[in-house]
Structure 1
Amino acid sequence: MKQKESVIVGISVGDLNGIGPEIIIKAYEDPRTLELHTPVIFASGKIMQFFKNHFKSKINFFNIDSPDKVVLGKVNVVNVWNEAVKIDFGKENKKIGEYSIKSLEAATKALKDGDIDVLVTAPINKHNIQSDKFNFPGHTDYLAKALEGKSLMFMVSDALRVGLLTDHVPLKDASNAITEELIKEKVATVITSLKQDFGIRKPKIAVLAINPHAGDNGVIGNEDDTILKPTLEKIKSDGSLVYGPYSADSFFGSNTYKNFDAIIASYHDQGLIPFKTIAFGQGVNYTAGLSKVRTSPDHGTAYEIAGKGIADDSSMKQAIFTAIQIFRKREEYDYYSKNPLKKASR
């Protein structure tokens, strides 16, 4: 099968007062990075020149006015705005939040239009982006609506993949949000993603319990017995390799997670605390379930170190290369889905 020569990677710049611009610049300091893909940063030539000077970078930017004018092999910058922007490193600012959204919206449009192949989003501040026009808790929910998909927050690394039944939901509301319909939807999304995005033909999945000790037969809550267990049994009856619910307290410490292709946690911290403990810096936030590929570093704006030149770009680089790898896997999956005889003859 013939693959696209150079994957075009769109990058939304994130919160300009955070570490997003720094880790983007660091990710492209080595020109060899451009051998396999072409980056397109959605910001402005002026602001990226400011960051280049501030961080004493030797990177060369190629300014364009439209994402359909990308030059392969260059670090392209789309001028989403032209006015000067005042940067105050480490400070939350409502105006800066507006520029975060301008960048994200322009990059998302380019993704939908096919001007870029994948999207990598630098960290935003979930508070300063809120407005009457933009009232999403984060990237995942916005992209699910923009791309009309059933999204799932999927944290991935070489050693571990963790999906969530509920993501940015207050803990007091999490158990009420977990329904049979939601469980089936999220499990189906994980299975599909493991097959088409990671090349795993028969994925094996573990699901973590809602309550401590999976409820201890109703002593510590009955949600696991009345909702989670019977739903998982229904899913298993279709031939899917889905197991649980497992008590979360010993699941990772005992290395049980290594027996599965993915783990689905019931709520945000149940999944992200062990993931970031095991894979921090090498992990990637991937939005599974969409028609397009989007990844992000596994950390936030890091205001406390913004502008100091000490931010680690490891997760940003990993987010870029994971997006490319998933894009290639999808190419392969789509090709062999349409040509099953060629797959059988490999």
Structure 2
Amino acid sequence: MKKENKIKLGISIGDLNGIGSEIIIKTFEDNRMLEFCTPVIFASIKTMSFFKKHFKSNINFHGINHTDQIVEGKVNVLNVWKENVIIKFGEENVKIGQYSVKSLEKATEALKTEAIDVLVTAPIHKHNIQSESFKFPGHTNYLAEKLGGESLMFMVTENLKVGLLTDHVPVKDVPKQITSELIIKKIDTVYNSLVKDFRISKPKIAVLGINPHAGDNGVIGNEDDNVLKPTLEKIRENKKLVYGPYSADSFFGSGNYKNFDAVIAAYHDQGLIPFKTIAFGHGVNYTAGLNRVRTSPDHGTAFEIAGKGEADNGSFKEAVFSAIQIFKNRTEFETISSNPLKQRPKKI
């Protein structure tokens, strides 16, 4: 029987002055990780050797110049640049930000052409990456343009999954962005991801209100009554198990989220504050809806501790394992869908 090749897991380096290098090294200096995947770091062997020396790590890197040189059982480093880069941990630097863009672009190209199977992105600094040629507020928007599908920021752990109707937009613009069409599209994306990527056959989804107390019947804004509620009724007509809108202030504290497979928040902080309060350090940011798998840790560059050896790699490691499992789940789902005879036997 032919040995199955390990999943090729691409890693974009993120901001070189942040904690990305540290959490990558801490994760893969444990050789047991190579039993689950073949990592490919998009950076440069010179830069990664600097990080290895700085953090006094025993990790061994394998430098390559093309994806066809990837070696299983090694921590591969694909040379995206060759020049020496001066690292100043904790410093916000636009020039350094451009290296994170180069890494992301090369990794995305490899993902698109299937030279790698999945992508895990280390944290970037959203201001540092801006330029005339790169005007995206973050990974999600960039990947949505470069890869096919409907992207959605989906924060996930085993027991809590939170999707967003709107992500990196100013709070003042949230109400006008939430249309019936958007709600239907985002709920469909979450629903399909739960079925294909997490193998939940009949997902139960809760939706949080846009306004405090879901508008209190129009007393605190009319967006919930005029847009959200009728749209959810329309969705329920298609037999999807979608509930709400729920008042966001008590939904998580009461433990009600435990009754659902996913929760959809109206805007960034409404969903991410409770998610990170409950799951910080173990959560994963997954871009649902794309035709490729991308995950990242649930935190940022953490400039305040960069270079000090204090960074916790727990969330990054979870992002690695999540990417691997989602890829396997999706592959199995697509195999079963294309050949009904391979469906799992029903339990009696």
- Determine the structure 1 residue equivalent to 2:96: 96
Q: Deviations over 1:262-294 (max 9, x none)?
A: 000000000000000000000000000000000
- Determine the structure 2 residue equivalent to 1:307: 307
Preserved CA contact (<8 Å) 1:39 1:75: yes
Moved more, 334-343 or 129-138: 334-343
Q: Deviations over 1:300-323 (max 9, x none)?
A: 000000000110000000000000
In structure 2, distance between residues paired with 1:344 and 1:312: 39
Aligned-pair CA distance for 1:67 = 1.6
In structure 1, distance between residues paired with 2:128 and 2:269: 22
Q: Deviations over 1:24-59 (max 9, x none)?
A: 000011101101210000000000000000000000
Whether 2:55 is the aligned partner of 1:51: answer no
In structure 1, distance between residues paired with 2:190 and 2:92: 35
Amino acid at match of 1:329: N
In structure 1, distance between residues paired with 2:68 and 2:271: 39
Amino acid at match of 2:237: S
Unaligned stretches of 5+ residues in structure 1: none
Preserved CA contact (<8 Å) 1:208 1:244: yes
In structure 1, distance between residues paired with 2:281 and 2:263: 19
Q: Deviations over 1:60-94 (max 9, x none)?
A: 00000012211011000000000000000000001
Q: Deviations over 1:114-170 (max 9, x none)?
A: 110000000000001000100000000000000032100000001200000000010
In structure 2, distance between residues paired with 1:229 and 1:320: 37
Q: Within 5 A, what are the aligned runs for 1:277-316?
A: 277-316=277-316
- Determine the structure 1 residue equivalent to 2:155: 155
SS across alignment from 1:214 = helix
- Determine the structure 2 residue equivalent to 1:225: 225
- Determine the structure 2 residue equivalent to 1:168: 168
- Determine the structure 2 residue equivalent to 1:319: 319
Equivalent pairs counted in the alignment come to 345
- Determine the structure 2 residue equivalent to 1:268: 268
Unaligned stretches of 5+ residues in structure 2: none
In structure 1, distance between residues paired with 2:266 and 2:68: 41
In structure 1, distance between residues paired with 2:342 and 2:319: 31
In structure 2, distance between residues paired with 1:84 and 1:60: 19
Preserved CA contact (<8 Å) 1:3 1:331: no
Q: Within 5 A, what are the aligned runs for 1:129-278?
A: 129-278=129-278
Superposition RMSD in Å:
1.0
Q: Within 5 A, what are the aligned runs for 1:59-78?
A: 59-78=59-78
SS across alignment from 1:51 = helix
In structure 2, distance between residues paired with 1:253 and 1:345: 39
In structure 2, distance between residues paired with 1:68 and 1:59: 22
- Determine the structure 2 residue equivalent to 1:87: 87
Preserved CA contact (<8 Å) 1:3 1:328: no
Change (3 A) 1:79 1:344: closer
